[in-house]
Amino acid sequence: MQEFPKGFLWGGATAANQLEGAYDVDGKGLSIADALPGGPERFNIVDQPDFDWKIDPDKYTYPNHEGIDFYHHFKEDIALFAEMGFKCYRFSIAWSRIFPNGDDAEPNEKGLQFYDQVIDECLKYHIEPVITISHYELPLNLVTTYGGWKNRQLIGFFENYAKVVLTRYASRVKYWMTFNEINSALHFPVMSQGLVSSNGGNVMQNRYQAWHNQFVAGAKAVAIAHELRSDLQIGCMLLYATTYAYDANPVNQLAALKENQAMNHFCGDVQVRGKYPLYTESLMNHYGFSFKDLTVTADDLAVLAANPVDYIGFSYYMSTAVNVTDKSLGTANGNLVGGVKNPFLESSDWGWQIDPTGLRIALNELANRYNKPVFVVENGLGAKDVVAADGSIHDDYRINYLREHIEAIRGAISDGVPVMGYTPWGCIDLVSASTGQMSKRYGFIYVDLDDEGHGTGKRSKKDSFTWYQHVIETNGDTK
């Protein structure tokens, strides 16, 4: 049987805004995540023309404000990760802890000290930190005052922020990523770009302008990182949903190819190859504008060309299928990707189509497209867990999902794909990005909190905890 490489980075992944809590503690400013309502309201805001980002406790709940209070429990939580044998831990830095308003002249030392402690706690157990610089937590002021990422000024603010955190932590942290799921903005630009419909203009042009600014900002971070430490690895992070044509109808095949270009490949093509792909103009024309309509300088293009990322980090939860010829087919749900229901696949409670083979395909596609290492930095099953009377949590459905996906990674390795590691999402239960609530759980570690944030916050081990511990200990035995 194909073995996992020595030094394979087994671990888990989280994001600051979904677990830290302490949203206004020690000088932290507000971020987008702090102003997003929990529950069904969350997804509706993107199309509310008058959405104004005002925190309104009478109208909304804000589960991110407390999270799972990792801010005060990180030692206990990292000790549990260590007990599972984690080789790495992927987390993000909350930009608004470091620059509370995003445009501040000086960083907030207390915020920097918090991540000093988190990093040192990981290193104490020989856990390699893997840091996402920006994960759906843009400082709110950059949205309300500057209009989000479509404003070029954000390039400078981000560069400043990236320089501060990279300089502070680079000697202790080798693995980094720039923007979480940068391509998710195609469908939901709120969390990653700070854009809502009320920004006006051609909404798709806004998104592509915002992307351009993010590409340049990310490339500048890559330059800073490599200057600080030549062996530092800094990647992009893509939301990858393997996309099939529903059938052999060439019309559907072409539609699937276009969908792949728009969703799965565009951002990676720019960030990994350092230049815009050949299909750029056709893609933009489809949305009613031209590349010439964007503000892009010659210097921007030079920065992109000089600073491609080192590896491709990506999240993988599901696949999707495209059919433009038969309108009677039902839509498959997903938080950020749609498509039609694939009759060969089962779905999670939230309608996400479970497809381990799709992960093997994704790994082959990405590694061979770019000829660079790939890192599965998110994967997992969101499910409702039940605590038995004796306190145990039997999450065999999660174990089955993860086992099949790890076996798919093994398959990809046997196909010749250089896979750096695997960090399942939400290794400890945390607030869901799409629902803003707790009951959609991913963790190996259960956290006693409900959708209203009520509960003891106590951590307990699910069955998957011991199972994953064995996987890591044996470097890949999933039995």
Give residue 222's identity as a one-letter amino acid code: V
C-alpha to C-alpha distances, 422 to 12, 130, 472, nearest whole angstrom: 7, 11, 10
Stretch that binds ligand BGP, among 394-402, 412-420, 432-440, 465-473 (CB under 6 A): 432-440
| DSSP labels, 53-95 | ----TTT---GGGTTT-HHHHHHHHHHHHHHHT-SEEEEE--H
> With respect to ligand BGP, which residue has the nearer C-beta, 140 or 239?
239
Complex with ligand BGP: residue 239 or 419, whichever CB lies closer: 239
Tell me if 2 sits within 8 A of 410, measured CB to CB: yes
The residue among 281 and 349 lying less far from ligand BGP, judged by its C-beta, is: 349
Q: Which amino acid is at 184?
A: S
* 139 or 382: CB nearest ligand BGP: 382
- Residues 231-260 touching ligand BGP, rule: CB under 6 A, are 239
Write down the least CB distance from residue 198 to ligand BGP, Å. Answer: 24
* Beta carbon nearer to ligand BGP, 233 or 379: 379
Q: Is 348 in the site for ligand BGP (CB under 6 A)?
A: no
Q: Does 20 bind ligand BGP (CB under 6 A)?
A: no
Closest CA to 361 of 205, 451, 290, 256: 256
Q: Which stretch binds ligand BGP (CB under 6 A): 221-229, 270-278, 281-289, 427-435?
A: 427-435
Residue 440 found at the interface with ligand BGP (CB under 6 A): yes
Nearer to ligand BGP, 199 or 423 (CB): 423
User: Given candidates 189, 382, 424, 453, which one binds ligand BGP under the rule CB under 6 A?
Assistant: 382
Return the residue of 310, 378, 385, 395 that touches ligand BGP, per CB under 6 A: 378
> Could you tell me which stretch among 4-12, 363-371, 415-423, 428-436 binds ligand BGP (CB under 6 A)?
428-436
Residue 83's identity, in one-letter code, is: E
Tell me if 34 contacts ligand BGP by CB under 6 A. no
To ligand BGP, the closest distance from the beta carbon of 294 in angstroms equals 26
379 Cα distance to chain centroid: 10
Are the C-beta atoms of 135 and 193 separated by less than 8 Å?
no
Question: What residue ranges in 257-333 does DSSP mark as E strands?
Answer: 311-315, 319-322
Q: How far is the CB of 65 from ligand BGP (least distance, A)?
A: 17
Tell me the CA distances in angstroms from 415 to 312, 339, 363, 421, one per residue in order. Answer: 17, 28, 9, 16
Site for ligand BGP in 108-137 (CB under 6 A): 136
Is residue 425 part of the contact set for ligand BGP (CB under 6 A)?
Answer: yes
- In the list 108, 271, 432, 464, the residue contacting ligand BGP (rule: CB under 6 A) is 432
Residue type, 160: N
Burial class (CB in 10 A: 0-12, 13-18, 19+), 468: buried
* Binding status of residue 100 toward ligand BGP by CB under 6 A: no
DSSP state of 451: T
Q: Retrieve residue 267's tokens.
A: 């951002």
Radius of gyration of the chain (CA): 21
Minimum distance from residue 468 beta carbon to ligand BGP (Å): 18
Rounded to whole angstroms, what are the CA distances from 160 to 213, 218, 226? 14, 12, 16
Number of residues engaging ligand BGP in binding (CB under 6 A): 15
User: Given 378, 407, 452, 473, which residue is catalytic?
Assistant: 378
The CA–CA distances, whole Å, from 183 to 188, 275, 437 equal 9, 16, 23
CA distance linking residue 255 with residue 257, whole number of Å: 5
Query: In a 10 Å sphere around its CB, with 0-12 CB exposed, 13-18 middle and 19+ buried, how is residue 317 labelled?
Result: buried
By C-beta, is 185 or 221 nearer to ligand BGP? 185
For residue 15, state whether it binds ligand BGP (rule: CB under 6 A).
yes
Judged by beta carbon, residue 168 or residue 440, the one nearer ligand BGP is 440
Binds ligand BGP by CB under 6 A, chosen from 108, 134, 206, 335: 335
Is 334 a binder of ligand BGP (CB under 6 A)?
A: no
Based on CB atoms, which residue is closest to ligand BGP, 339 or 382? 382
Whether residue 378 lies in the annotated active site: yes
Question: Nearest approach, Cβ of 158 to ligand BGP (angstroms)?
Answer: 18
Applying CB under 6 A, which part among 200-208, 285-293, 301-309, 433-441 lies near ligand BGP?
Answer: 433-441
The CB-of-205 to ligand BGP minimum distance in angstroms stands at 24
CB-based contact 237:180 (threshold 8 Å): yes
Burial of 54 (0-12, 13-18, 19+ CB in 10 A): exposed
Tell me the CA end-to-end span of the chain in Å, nearest whole number. 13
Enumerate residues 175-214 that contact ligand BGP by CB under 6 A.
Answer: 180-181
Binding footprint of ligand BGP on the chain (CB under 6 A): 15, 18, 136, 180-181, 239, 315, 335, 378, 382, 425, 432-434, 440
Active site residues: 378
